[in-house]
Chain A
Amino acid sequence: MSRTVLETRDLTMRFGGLVAVDRVSLQVEARQVHAIIGPNGAGKSTMINLLTGALRPTAGQILFYGRDITGMSPNRISHLGMGRSFQRTNVFPSFTCLENCRLASQSRLKNSFRFFRPAESYRQVTERAERALELCGLSHRRHTPAAAMSHGEQRQLEIGMVLATDPRFLVLDEPMAGMGQRESETLLELLRELNREYALILVEHDMDAVFSIADVLTVMVNGAVIASGPLDAVRNSEAVQHAYLGEADAVEEA
């Protein structure tokens, strides 16, 4: 029996007159990859901001493992096990790769009001950070400051930091944007790996990637869901072909 990990009910977000997310109801089951696609400005990132608590919805409800998390702060939601990556790279530039992951990993200590022992001496924290680095393929760069790395590598680090928080559900906002071909494939492999245990929401413009990994596909346009369901059904539905996929190339160029 599959268990529902995440559910939204009529989730709505208004910015003034603009309805960025319009009564969206989704369900993500355990070990599912739920991809959300849509043209620029469709409201995908806003959706993610709502799920992770960065924004408070105007209306609607979010349930995570059956628990109502609507309006909860991002830090609490993170501690419930939701790990979030950002569309625009959001790392700590002056920290090295390892320090970035260690700071992420350190968040799983009960608190960080630890004033005297050096951070490196917390073995579990460091181990978890190292593991995350290895998973995202950056072990060889562990002592390089994030600011000195290529854009693609920073994207990898972005994922590494999420993994270092030991999440049980991943919400990734265009993780492949800005990555090279090889890096994208490695990441896709990693996502498949993670998907054996975890469910994940994947917002992505790279259609090949989406089609190769998604179980469920949701298409958003102007804040509203125009189609949602098993990958193949949605991919071939006429409305979607017309409204979005027909223009996919143009969108990717942008």
Chain B
Amino acid sequence: MDLSLFLIQTLNGVQYGLLLFLIASGLTLIFGIMHIINLAHGALYMVGAYLAFWLTSLVGNLFLAIILALPIALMMGILIERFLIRHLYARAHLDQVLLTFGLILIFNALQSIIWGNDVHSVPVPEWLNHSVALTDNLRYPVYRLFISGVCITIAIGMYLLIQRTRLGMIVRAGADDREMVRSLGVNINRVYTLVFAAGTALAAFAGMIASPVSSVYPGMGESVLILAFVVVVIGGIGSIKGAFLGALLVGLTATWGTVLAPNFASAAVYALMAIVLLFKPRGLFA
């Protein structure tokens, strides 16, 4: 194996990992703060990708499409929390699993009704549609670097939000203690709505920016959902830092696996998780 392949795969792995971080961080936030397990998180990723595809074909530009799609995603998050998730706070995880599984079915059906079952591709925006020379004979697509950059920016933003703001304080406290939160003068229902909508938007946004590289197809959310679970299990539930490092670890393992053992690439990630669970049943950073 030569150095350039190594470099490319590593860059791909990092980019994939960062994307997974966007998805897993929403999942882990929703769980950490609201104690809700959301199986429909992957479906929201898919919805994001389809929205990007659909709006891009209408307005002709991915970024404009994203700007239009984000409010839709936020709105979806708010509605789902208000009308469905809100009934589940006092219920067992089992009910949450089932209700959000029902949501998956609905999203899958809606996707098939609205957009059909074909595979679509989304054009990379013109000004990012080229590659840079990393070494003399090695070029790398700028759009992938762009994805990584955006994800890192969001990660830093989240870090600041959690370390520096009052909302972040609630997040760090785990918000176990409703009394404590209320004593801060915070409307807990509004916090929950906000957190859920933000998680939804993160997943959908990941789907949007990933659409040009991953293409858009039915069921694309499921593998991502499971990988996000793996990330959360490895990183530790409720931990943003864990999600970040876990996601990079999973991203690199997955891309490297494809090169080294193509038939077992997907299994490698789970082997990683098995090892972590064996030694740290609560994840690396719980």
A and B touch in the complex (CB under 8 A): no
